Every structure is written in structure tokens, then in C-alpha cells.
């Protein structure tokens, strides 16, 4: 369990850094994710081929995994859209709503009763988002993108939990992102009609940050997250991912000085999110202690 939590928190820190990269890369959010998935699939495919770990799976299974990749692709597009139309800090805070959505989606998918405590903890995060939304109406479009991103983020760990029983993290990541990439090949041209891009080919600096995004914040991050999911629940994973705003916001303050444009209401919202994470960690520790005493 300790190793799984360490892997999860390492993945969360890397995920927090993706917000910074989303700001540094000037591409439109749809194109950014298209290039990210292309580089990731190529990189992971080469690694698995050289290690002789490239696994063939049944077409039916590939469709299921690719469907989860579609959710990942939409989650990323809306997440980076939130950054483009608001800022890194607002996008990361909206992302924390995933805990609330997970508290409903996980019981429905796994066919178990809804846990009122999980709903209450998720509502704390939603309350934090509401405070920010209420006091920053100029970020309306970015916040809507952020909430849609949170919905996507709440779903794919739940489906991955089931798939990890049968497939290795590396195989799952390759087929998921491959499916997401194929979906984006069809989706991005339509998306660009509604949200036009200033340019279509990455600049030299874009390529540098895209490689960091693909290699460290995608391949490595996904591997850490999926290995952690073997030991912990999707709800715990998503609620722990609420620390992503904390890491990302600190980095945004350091890189872009976003703290100069944020008021005490923003910090009040972040405080509620952090409280939800602390309470869930305490619940896990308390429940584990009770089991050990038995």
C-alpha cells in the first residue's frame, strides 16, 4: 500500500506539471493533445517493441480499451482548453471536481451503493469550484471546460480498474492512447472549426515541451498511476489527484506569477479542496488501522 501511494503521489506531481506545459505550448488545445498522443504512442510502441513486450490483444478488447482512450482524449482537450480560456490555477482547481463525479459514477459502474461520506467529500471540492466560479465570471468558458475535464477524469480510472485485471499498465496505456489518437484524427478537424488555431505546426520550443509532456508526464505518469490502481480504489486515486491543483498552482505561481491576479476567494476554494483530500487520507488511515487491530 505504501508503494502504491508513493507511485500515485509521484504521478500526481507529474500531472500537476502538465498544466505548466499546457501554458508554455502555444498550440491550440486540440492540436496540443493530438501531438501529445502521437508522440506518446510512438514512444511507448518503440519501447515495448525493443523490450519484446508488445502484446497483441483481441479486436473486441482493443475497442473497449480504445473507448477509454476516447475519454482520456476528451479529458485532455477540455483540460487544456480550460488553461487557454482561463489560466493554469483555475483549470487545476476545476479538475478537482473529479472526486464528486467519481462518488456517483463508481457505484453505478461497479453496481454498489453510493457512499454518503464520499459524496460529502466530493461536494467540498465542488463548493471550492463554485466559490471561484462566482468571483471570476471572466473565466466562465475556462471553468466550463474544466468541469467537463473533471467528468472525463472521474471516468477513465474506474474503467481502468476493471481492465488492469487482464492487461499490463504498459499495454493498457498504448492501446488507450492509440485509440484516443485515432479518435482525435477525426475529432480535431471539426473542433478547429469551432475553436480555430493560430498556427498548426509546433515551434521549436513547442517540440521541446511536447517531448517532456509525452515522455515524463504521460508515459511515466500513466505507468505510475496504473500500477498504483492495482492496490487502491478509483475514488481514492481521484481524490488524491485533487492534490494536482496544489502542486500545479504552486508551480503556476512560480512560473507565471498567477498569484498576483487571484484574490482570497480563490484561496478559500483551494482550502476546501485540500480539506477534502486530508479528510479522505485520514479515513483511509483510520480504516486501515481498524483492520490491523482486528
Q: How far apart are CA 152 and CA 105, in angstroms?
A: 11
Position 135 confidence tier, pLDDT thresholds 50, 70, 90: low
Position 247 confidence tier, pLDDT thresholds 50, 70, 90: confident
What is the pTM (predicted TM-score) of this model? 0.85
Using one digit for the tens of pLDDT, what is the confidence trace for 17-70?
Answer: 999 999 999 999 999 999 999 999 999 999 899 988 888 899 999 999 999 999
Tell whether the model's pLDDT for residue 163 goes beyond 80: yes
Which of 26-35, 133-142, 277-286 has the highest mean predicted lDDT (pLDDT)?
26-35
List the single range of 10-19, 59-68, 206-215 with lowest mean pLDDT.
10-19
List the single range of 124-138, 142-156, 203-217 with lowest mean pLDDT.
124-138
Per-residue model confidence (pLDDT) at position 109: 86
Q: How many CB atoms lie under 10 A from the CB of residue 200? A: 9
Those residues with Cβ within 8 angstroms of residue 10's Cβ, 6 or more apart along the chain or in another chain: 224
In the block, cell 482550502 appears at: 271
Using one digit for the tens of pLDDT, what is the confidence trace for 106-132?
Answer: 888 888 888 888 778 778 877 877 777
Of 82, 181, 179, 174, the C-alpha closest to 136 is: 82
What is the average pLDDT across 234-252? 75
What is the average pLDDT across 196-225? 92
Those residues with Cβ within 8 angstroms of residue 71's Cβ, 6 or more apart along the chain or in another chain: 152, 155, 156, 159
Tell whether the model's pLDDT for residue 144 goes beyond 80: yes
Tell whether the model's pLDDT for residue 177 goes beyond 70: yes
Per-residue model confidence (pLDDT) at position 33: 97
- Pair 276, 239: CB distance under 8 Å: yes
- State percent of the chain over pLDDT 70: 91
Per-residue model confidence (pLDDT) at position 189: 95
Q: Dihedral sign for Cα 64, 68, 71, 73, please.
A: negative
Per-residue model confidence (pLDDT) at position 79: 95
Per-residue model confidence (pLDDT) at position 126: 77
Q: Buried b / exposed e across 155-166, counting CB within 10 Å, b at 16+?
A: bbbbbbbebbee
Amino acid at each position: 500500500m505504501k508503494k502504491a501511494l508513493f507511485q500515485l503521489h509521484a504521478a500526481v506531481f507529474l500531472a500537476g506539471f502538465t498544466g505548466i506545459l499546457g501554458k508554455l505550448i502555444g498550440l491550440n488545445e486540440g492540436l496540443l493533445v493530438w501531438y501529445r498522443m502521437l508522440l506518446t504512442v510512438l514512444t511507448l510502441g518503440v519501447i515495448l517493441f525493443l523490450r519484446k513486450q508488445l502484446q497483441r490483444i483481441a479486436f473486441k478488447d482493443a475497442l473497449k480499451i480504445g473507448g477509454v482512450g476516447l475519454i482520456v482524449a476528451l479529458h485532455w482537450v477540455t483540460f487544456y482548453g480550460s488553461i487557454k480560456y482561463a489560466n493554469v490555477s483555475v483549470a487545476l482547481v476545476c479538475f478537482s471536481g473529479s472526486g464528486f463525479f467519481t462518488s456517483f459514477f463508481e457505484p453505478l459502474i461497479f453496481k454498489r451503493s453510493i457512499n454518503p461520506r464520499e459524496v460529502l467529500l466530493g461536494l467540498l471540492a465542488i463548493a471550492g469550484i463554485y466559490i471561484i466560479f462566482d468571483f471570476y465570471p471572466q473565466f466562465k468558458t475556462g471553468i466550463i471546460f474544466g468541469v467537463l475535464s473533471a467528468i472525463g477524469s472521474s471516468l477513465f480510472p474506474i474503467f481502468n480498474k476493471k481492465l488492469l485485471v487482464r492487461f499490463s499498465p504498459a499495454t493498457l496505456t498504448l492501446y488507450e492512447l492509440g485509440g484516443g489518437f485515432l479518435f482525435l484524427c477525426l475529432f480535431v478537424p471539426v473542433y478547429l472549426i469551432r475553436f480555430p488555431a493560430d498556427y498548426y505546426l509546433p515551434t521549436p520550443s513547442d517540440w521541446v515541451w511536447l517531448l517532456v509532456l509525452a515522455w515524463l508526464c504521460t508515459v511515466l505518469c500513466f505507468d505510475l498511476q496504473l500500477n498504483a490502481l492495482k492496490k487502491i480504489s478509483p475514488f481514492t486515486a481521484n481524490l488524491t489527484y485533487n492534490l494536482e491543483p496544489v502542486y500545479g498552482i504552486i508551480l503556476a505561481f512560480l512560473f507565471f506569477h498567477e498569484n498576483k491576479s487571484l484574490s482570497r476567494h480563490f484561496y478559500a476554494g483551494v482550502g476546501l479542496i485540500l480539506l477534502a483530500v486530508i479528510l479522505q487520507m485520514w479515513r483511509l488511515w483510520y480504516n486501515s488501522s481498524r483492520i490491523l487491530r482486528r
